[in-house]
Amino acid sequence: MTRRVVVTGMGGVTALGNDWPAIRANLLAGRTGIRRMAEWERFEGVNTRLGAPVDGFSVEGRWPRKKTRTMGPVARLAVFAAEQALTDAGLLGDPVLTSGRAGVAFGSSFGSPDSVLGFYELKMNGASRNLNATTYIQMMGHTTAVNIGLFFGLTGRVIPTSSACTSGSQGIGYAAEAIRAGKADIMVAGGAEELDITDAAVFDTLFATSTRNDRPGTTPQPYDRDRDGLVIGEGAAALILEEYDHAKARGASIHAELVGFGSNSDGNHVTQPQAATMAVALRLALADADLPPEAVGMVNGHGTATEWGDIAETQATAAVLGSAMPIHSLKSYFGHSLGACGAIEAWLGIEMMREGWFCPTANLTNIDERCAELDYIKGSVLRKSVDHFMSNNFAFGGINTSLIFKAV
C-alpha cells in the first residue's frame, strides 16, 4: 500500500512579507517587492541595480545567541521558515521530532557568500581575522539543512539539496519520497536563499539581468515580449510533509496532498534549457500522481523573465498540458529567489488553491509570440477552484522538477 504524503504545516518569508496574510494583500494589490539596491552602487562591474530583499528581517532576540552561531543569513531565513511551518503544523517542541522518524530535506544554491571572505583572506594574505570555528558551517552548501536539524533536534535523515533553482522543489520531492518509502513519518522540506551581489553578478555575466534600474516597478516581465531579464530576490519557505495516517492520528490540519513529483536532467548544456526534457519531467510528475494531463487545473511556472527560459518552459508546458492551461509566474512579484523559489512557489500555490484564486503575472502586457500558446494569467486575478495544481522549476545544469499538489 502506497503511503500518502500530506502537507500539515507551511511558512516562510519573501520580499512581500513574512506570513501569508501580508503576502496575500500584496499579491491582490499587484504590489511587487522589487527595488533599486542603493547598496550595490559601488559594484561598477555589475550592470543591474535591482533586487528583491526581505527588508527588516532579523532574528536578533528571537533565539539564544548560542543557537545562531552556526547560521549565516541564509540559514537564519531557513530556520525561521521551518519554525513557522512547525508551529503551523502543531509540532514545535513535539517529542516526535527527536524520535528518529522526523527529518529534513532542504536546500540553497550556496551557503552564505560573505563567509568565503575569511578563506580568501587566508589564501591571499597568509592569515585571516575572519575565520572562526563556524565559518565553514555558514559557507557549506548544506548549511540550511544542517542548521534546521540542529535547531529543532531532528534525528531522522538529512537530505541536502543544493541544485540552484530546483533546490527547494527537490527538497520537497525527495522528502515525499522518503516518507513514501517508510524512512520517515515527518519531513521539514523546502529551500532558502539570501540576496547577495554575487548572485546578481552570475546572471549579469550571462546578460540575463534586468537593467531597468530607474524603473523597478516595471520588471521583471515573465513571458512578455518586452522583458529585459530577471531580478534576483531572497527568502525561504518550508513545508511540513507528513504521512497521512500519522497526521490523522494526531488530529493535524491538512492543507494539501503532494501526489506527484518528477525530476530529471537535460543532459545537454549547463545553461541552455531544453523543452523536450522539461516536458519529460512534467510527464514524470503526472505518472507519479497517476493523473491525466486534464486533471491539472493550474500551473505555477518557473517564469524567470529570461528569453530562452520562458520560451522552452512554455513549449514544454503546452506540449504536456495543452494550450488552454492557465499559467502564471510568482517571480514577477519577488524576484528569482534561486534555491528558495521552488519552496516559496509551492507554499503560495497551496494557499491560493485553498482560497480559490490565483494572482496574475505582474508586468505581463504583451505575450511573447515565441512562447507557446497557453492561458497566461495577466491583468486581473483568476477566480478558479482547482483540484490539482502543478509547480515547475528548472535549474542550471539542466535540472528539471515538477510537483503536483491536490486540494483537500
Calculate the alpha carbon distances from 346 to 69, 145, 181 in Å: 30, 18, 22
pLDDT tens digits along 256-266:
999 999 999 99
pLDDT for 23 equals: 98
Read off the pLDDT band of 106 (50, 70, 90): very high
Report the distance separating Cα 163 and Cα 407, nearest Å: 28
Report the distance separating Cα 237 and Cα 77, nearest Å: 8
Closest CA to 218 of 379, 366, 363: 363
CATH value of 5-407 in 3.90.1530.30, 3.10.20.30, 3.40.190.170, 3.40.47.10: 3.40.47.10
Read off the pLDDT band of 306 (50, 70, 90): very high
pLDDT tens digits along 200-229:
999 999 999 999 999 999 999 999 999 999
pLDDT tens digits along 55-88:
999 999 999 999 999 999 999 999 999 999 999 9
Report the distance separating Cα 339 and Cα 107, nearest Å: 6
The letter for the amino acid at 255 is H
Share of the chain above pLDDT 70, in %: 100
Q: Locate the DSSP E strands across 127-279.
A: 158-161, 186-193, 232-233, 235-243, 256-265
Active site residue 341: no
Calculate the alpha carbon distances from 27 to 39, 160, 180, 372, 406 in Å: 26, 31, 34, 25, 22
Q: If you compute the radius of gyration of the chain from its CA atoms, what whole number of angstroms results?
A: 20
> Hey, which residues does 5 pair with through a beta bridge?
243
pLDDT tens digits along 119-156:
999 999 999 988 988 999 999 999 999 999 999 999 99
Closest CA to 181 of 8, 390, 6, 5: 5
List the catalytic residue out of 142, 328, 336, 388: 336
For residue 272, is pLDDT > 90?
Answer: no
Report the distance separating Cα 272 and Cα 295, nearest Å: 30
Read off the pLDDT band of 1 (50, 70, 90): low
The three grid cell numbers given for residue 401, joined into one nine-digit string: 522538477
The residue assigned the cell 491538512 is 254
List the catalytic residue out of 165, 341, 359, 371: 165
Mean pLDDT of 40-54: 97
For residue 383, is pLDDT > 70?
Answer: yes
Q: Are 395 and 341 in contact (CB under 8 A)?
A: no
- Cite the DSSP H helix spans in 153-214: 167-180, 197-204
For residue 394, is pLDDT > 70?
Answer: yes
The three grid cell numbers given for residue 153, joined into one nine-digit string: 533536534
This prediction's pTM: 0.97
Q: At what angle do helices 143-152 and 73-89 cross, to 10 degrees?
A: 50
The three grid cell numbers given for residue 383, joined into one nine-digit string: 477566480
For residue 191, is pLDDT > 90?
Answer: yes
pLDDT for 271 equals: 85
Closest CA to 340 of 238, 231, 230: 238
The domain limits of the chain are 5-407
Q: What is the mean pLDDT of the chain?
A: 97
List the catalytic residue out of 142, 246, 255, 302: 302
pLDDT for 129 equals: 86
Read off the pLDDT band of 293 (50, 70, 90): very high
Mean pLDDT of 180-209: 97
Contacts of 231 by beta carbon, 8 Å cutoff, 6+ apart: 34, 48, 50, 51, 52, 209, 210, 216, 219, 220, 305, 331, 335, 336
pLDDT for 2 equals: 81
| Neighbour-count burial for 349-361, b at 16+ CB within 10 Å, e otherwise | bbbbbeeebbbbb
220 prior amide bond cis, ω within 30 = yes
